[in-house]
Structure 1
Amino acid sequence: MAQKFIPFEVIENFMVSVLVKAGIPENDAKIVTDVLIQADKLGFDSHGVNRLKPIYLDRIKDGILNPVTNYQIVKEGPTTAVIDGQNGMGHVIGYNAMKMAIEKAKKLGMGMVAVRNSTHYGFAGYYALMAVKENLIGITGTNARPSIAPTFGVENMLGTNPLTFGMPTDEPFPFLLDCATSITQRGKIELYEREGKILPKGWVIDENGESKTDPKEVLVDLTSGKAALTPLGGIGEETAGYKGYGYATVVEILSAALQQGAYLKMLTGFKDGKKVPYNLGHFFIAIDISAFTEVDDFKRTTGNILRELRASKKMPGQPRIYTAGEKEYEVWKTRKDKGVPFGDELLKEFQGICKEYGLNEFLPSFE
């Protein structure tokens, strides 16, 4: 499959233009664009600009995602808040929620904001990195439409429910752990479908608990409930699948119980056979390092831990050991002068977006 790199500046201008055409206010469009492009800059391609059409533009057209975000603060304390997203743009809600958590942490040491009635907020690491940039520890999580089966079950009940941590270090890159509590997630399966690749066994199971490997079939069956993702650790207890199942449940509780939001099968996006808003929940935590120790000391100790891990004895045949955030930094060094990678299918999709939204001046960039 051919691959073409589109400069970040071109993609940013295009994305903002499209989102504004779709009815999103310009300042909000810039936030959405930044979240999506940051994912591509760091190699989280499953949550990058390739989700523009299916997850955002199409949902706006379907009337289940509000392009104008009018979130409301429904409860607030010195270190906490609850926000109702009113089914606006999840990125805008997430950006403002983490900003609020950061402001509270700077004043009183910690801040946590819980969100209900939101929508897909994109690359979770973006919000953790917002805190890192302020020399804080950032934590976030979100529930999602049902995808994961509980251990010993075959019904998709829990979302992919990422639990994400960001911490500053004295290295050129932060510690960033951003991963789903399932082995994989829909975005990656969509990526496999576009690239014509078969899924590894153990990622997805059918109603009999057997592995499914056709990504196109899997995407249909996940929606209909005939397939489910496996939690981190895999099928059953032998490889500790109960651990991923447990962590996914923790994220579900923190994304729903604190803010009295929707959960589990309430998040299917369908009611009486019709599409409805997903009503997702998120949580955002910011921790002020200086309330515990000097920031530079924290960064140095964290850096020492990571460096010692990477310097430890390697498995035969393996050239290096990585720590979380390092591979993303390597991707950024490669892509910063090249831009976002586009395969043939994504190029065709963006050509269609150009024509549909009357942005033909961008067409040559995607040909």
Structure 2
Amino acid sequence: MEKTVWVSFDQLEAFMVDVFKSIGVPSEDAEICADVLITSDKRGIDSHGVGRLKPIYYDRIVSKKIQRPVTDFEIVRDRAATAVVDGHHGMGMVIAKRCMEMAIEKARTYGLGMVAVRNSTHYGFAAYYPMMACDAGMIGLTGTNARPSIAPTHGVENMLGTNPLVFGMPTDEGFPFTNDYATSIMQRGKIEQYAREGKDCPPGLIIDRAGNTQTDSVRILKDLVNGQAALAPIGGLEEETGGHKGYGFATVVELLSAALQQGSYLKMLSGLADDGSPKPYALGHFFMAIDIEHFCDLADFKKTAGDILRQLRASQKAPGKERIYTCGEKEHIAGIDRKDKGAPINDALQKQLIDMRNEQGLIQYRFPFEA
């Protein structure tokens, strides 16, 4: 029987820093990477937290050798309010944080700042970066392309990534408005979480080349890699349910993540060379900051934003529903609930943590699930 154990955020973050350092990530960069991951766990987004340490970062550096632990951050074009960066397959979180910092700095002068990136890697949960803008009194926006996953409307071949389009806006409440989600109904991180937990995916969200639905989480992850499965875009598989809208938004993100910086796109992001061997994913991202003070008083914006959200939550609820939420609220609630509990670590993740610890000789760590 599976046993989930809660592990403190402090221990997990310290462990992740040491793991990153042990595989060649510089100390300051390791702290950035660990902060992005643990912030995801703190917000209840288990699909993008410590559970991704081994498969998305550790393995790609250590065994697959398709990601560089030391980040060569190259600014290839720099204009007044814009810039283009080449990440040279370094640490996506490090690249992304520096890019949003650049966008914020430019926005202070010009009102708007935008930075586009090519040859990057997975940058963690996307809302981290718009939240940086919110902390600076600005509106933040980011998007990233990803491995082929989503089928275009009326298609069955995985072509587009899960391609989130994420905004962050400050409010006068205790948390900003953040709409962090993929442009597919189901995203890879959630499928990975289901696979770790031994659960099937809900039917109707993933199809094979024959157009049949798939639910086996482990098989889906394999078939997404070999091109035999595809995710449905937001709205579903048909135009009648609005699937073309999710498909359209995913395409917007693909265009902004590749065309602006002349980076890789669609099948070029498979992570596989012609002979089937692993190769860098060469992801593209974009970051925008909008300085609210160039438009109106920041306090006035926060008050109006808060009023809008409060009125939405106070509107009439559907029968049987206890409450209405606004974007970012559930993550805020999860943060309060988890503050003293930490993150839930199931059997599969426990094994991953122990394997990394033993492989890197980090013998100073002993976890609660080993008691």
TM over 0.5: yes
1:195 aligns with 2:194: no
8 Å contact 1:354–1:363 — kept in the other structure?
no
Cross-structure match for 1:6: 7
* Residues paired across the two proteins, number: 367
> Which letter does structure 1 place at the counterpart of 2:242?
A
Cross-structure match for 2:256: 254
> Which letter does structure 2 place at the counterpart of 1:277?
P
Cross-structure match for 2:133: 131
Q: How does 1:14-29 map to 2 (within 5 A)?
A: 14-29=15-30
Cross-structure match for 1:160: 162
8 Å contact 1:72–1:83 — kept in the other structure?
yes
**Offset at 1:341?**
1.3
Q: Distance in 2 between matches of 1:89 and 1:354?
A: 21
Cross-structure match for 1:350: 353
1:174 aligns with 2:176: yes
Partner SS for 1:115: strand
8 Å contact 2:178–2:328 — kept in the other structure?
yes
Deviations 1:35-78 (A, max 9, x none): 01111111111111100000001000221000000110000111
Cross-structure match for 2:217: 215
8 Å contact 2:40–2:49 — kept in the other structure?
yes
* Alignment root-mean-square deviation, CA: 0.8
Which is worse superposed, 114-123 or 193-202? 193-202
Choose the corresponding residue for 2:314, options 304, 311, 317. Answer: 311
Choose the corresponding residue for 2:328, options 325, 329, 348. Answer: 325
Choose the corresponding residue for 2:142, options 140, 143, 149. Answer: 140
> Which letter does structure 2 place at the counterpart of 1:25?
P
**Offset at 1:364?**
3.5
1:338 aligns with 2:341: yes
1:294 aligns with 2:300: no
TM-score, normalised on structure 2? 0.98
Q: How does 1:29-40 map to 2 (within 5 A)?
A: 29-40=30-41
> Which letter does structure 2 place at the counterpart of 1:153?
G
**Offset at 1:29?**
0.2
- Give 5+ residue unaligned stretches, structure 1: none
Cross-structure match for 1:48: 49
Moved over 2 A (4+): 363-366
Deviations 1:234-284 (A, max 9, x none): 111121100000000000000000000000010000112111100000000
Cross-structure match for 2:363: 360
Q: Distance in 1 between matches of 2:80 and 2:204?
A: 45
> Which letter does structure 1 place at the counterpart of 2:235?
G
TM-score, normalised on structure 1? 0.99
Q: Distance in 2 between matches of 1:169 and 1:208?
A: 47
Choose the corresponding residue for 1:275, options 273, 278, 281. Answer: 278
**Offset at 1:348?**
1.5
Q: Distance in 2 between matches of 1:174 and 1:159?
A: 26
